[in-house]
Amino acid sequence: MGFSPADRDVDDPGALAAAARRRFEAGDFGAARAGFERAFAAGDDSAETVAALHALYADGGDEAAVVRLLETYLDRVGAELPAAEVARWEAALFDAAALAEPATERRAEAALRVLEAVATAGGEAWSLVLEPARRGAIEAAFVSPLAVLELLEQESYAPAETGLPAGAVAQAEEIGRRYAAVPEVARAAERLLHGLGEREAACRIEAGRRAGGQARRRKRSLGRRISGGWSWRWRVGTRRCGRWSGRT
């Protein structure tokens, strides 16, 4: 059962949504989807219409449509919604993005959005990112070390009892140590740790970065000496190495 000519002539968002609900209750899900889409496009931003479309898209496996729907909805009314409700919708958006775009930058953006929303809402909202399957998907969305540091910054806002802040400090220091030879990453880890009040951890990274830089400079200097014709000589009659000499 499709829309009647009278339905098709209706422009009022509320009337369109009511007609779509009738189609849904009658089991005509294709017409219901079309009706709710018309209502949403006409400006119906009610949670009921969005939830109905979300369910219809998800049941049809159209995760890309879920992403478009929720991005549009949150852009329209996100600033007016309670923070906890925004966090729930952002979690749903991330779940859809993880399925629709498993290896894209957009997935990482969706993960960062849900983390920021949860951090804003605080309290029980953190349970949204502690759910094992979603947590694993969120962590998998951050690939580069700099991206992982972004993740850790958001997790540092979690309540201490979740274990996330302590884990963020430990992982940030580990990244800083591992990438001591990559100044951009090491310094980003230092800044994060300083921001978290972890001065000693930040200083350990700085010490490692500076030591590594000195070692690299010595190695380059040695290479220039060798390429310039210097030779390493063994001093006859002694058990220790001699000085650098320009003589061959």
Domain limits, the chain: 1-60, 79-141, 143-221
Number of neighbours of residue 59 by Cβ within 10 angstroms: 10
212 neighbors 180 (Cβ within 8 angstroms):
yes
The 10s digit of each residue's pLDDT in 75-107 is 999 999 999 999 999 999 999 999 887 667 788
Residue 216 is predicted with a pLDDT of 53
pLDDT at 240: 31
Residues of the chain falling short of pLDDT 70? 1-10, 102-103, 212-248
Q: What is the pTM of this model?
A: 0.75
Answer yes or no: are the C-beta atoms of 154 and 141 closer than 8 Å.
no
Strands 231-234 and 241-245 come out as antiparallel
Kindly give, in sequence order, each residue whose CB lies less than 8 Å from that of residue 11, ignoring residues fewer than 6 positions away.
42
pLDDT score of 189: 97
